[in-house]
Chains A and B, each alone.
Chain A
Amino acid sequence: MVDIEHGAEVEPARPLVKIRDLKMYFPIHSGLFRTHVGDVKAVDGISFDIMPGETLGLVGESGCGKSTVGRSILRLYDVTAGTVEINGFEIAHVDRDSLRSKRPMMQMIFQDPQASLNPRMTVANIIGEPLDEHMKLSPEERLARIYELMDWVGLNHVFAKRYPHEFSGGQRQRIGVARALALNPKFIVCDEPIAALDVSIQAQVVNLLENLQKRLNLTYLFISHDLSMVRHIADRVAVMYLGRIVEIASREKLFAEPLHPYTQALLSAVPEPDPESERNRKPIVLQGDVPSPANPPKGCNFSTRCPKVMDICRQIEPGIYDFGDGRQVACHLYSESMTMTGEPTAGETTN
Chain B
Amino acid sequence: MTDAPVLVPATGPDTSGRSQWWDVWDQFKTHKGALFGAAVFLFIVLAVTLGPLVWTLEPTFIDIRARNSGPTLVHPFGTDQLGRDILARMMAGGQVSIAVGLTAMLISVLLGTLIGVTSGYFRRLDNVLMGLTNLFLALPLLPLLLVMVMLFRETLARSFGPEMGTFILIVSAIGVTSWMQTARIVRGEVLALKEREFVLAARSIGTPPRRMILRHVLPNVLSPIMVSATLGIATAIITESALSFLGLGFPPDFPTWGRLLFDAVDYLQQYPERVFWPGLAISLTVLSVNYIGDGLRDALDPRIRGR
Contacts and interface: CB of A to CB of B under 8 A. Distances in A.
Interface of A: 71, 74, 76, 99-100, 103-104, 106-108, 110-112, 115-122, 129-130, 133-134, 147, 151, 154-158, 160-161, 163, 165, 176, 179, 183
B138 interface: no
Given A103-B206, A119-B302, A120-B301, A108 B220 contact: no
B121 to A, nearest CB: 15
A115 B198 contact: yes
B198 A116 contact: yes
Given A116-B198, A117-B198, A158-B8, A151 B1 contact: yes
A126 to B, nearest CB: 8
B56 interface: no
B53 interface: no
Contact of B1 (A74, A122, A154): A154
A99 B201 CA distance: 15
B contacts with A: majority SS: loop
24 contacts: A76-B204, A99-B206, A100-B208, A108-B200, A110-B197, A110-B201, A116-B197, A116-B200, A116-B201, A118-B198, A119-B302, A120-B219, A133-B205, A133-B207, A133-B211, A147-B5, A151-B3, A156-B1, A156-B7, A158-B9, A158-B14, A160-B16, A163-B303, A179-B201
Contact of B196 (A115, A156, A161, A163): A115
Nearest to B208: A100
Interface in B83-141: none
Interface residues of B, number: 32
A170 B7 CA distance: 22
A119 B220 contact: yes
Q: For B198, B207, B301, which residue has the most chain A Cβ atoms within 10 angstroms?
A: B198
Contact of A115 (B8, B197, B216): B197
Contacts of A163: 302-303
Nearest to B195: A115
Given A112-B197, A116-B198, A157-B5, A129 B203 contact: no
B32 interface: no
A129 B1 contact: no
B270 interface: no
A119 B215 CA distance: 11
A219 to B, nearest CB: 16
Given A108-B204, A120-B220, A134-B206, A157 B197 contact: no
A120 B302 contact: yes
B15 interface: yes
B287 interface: no
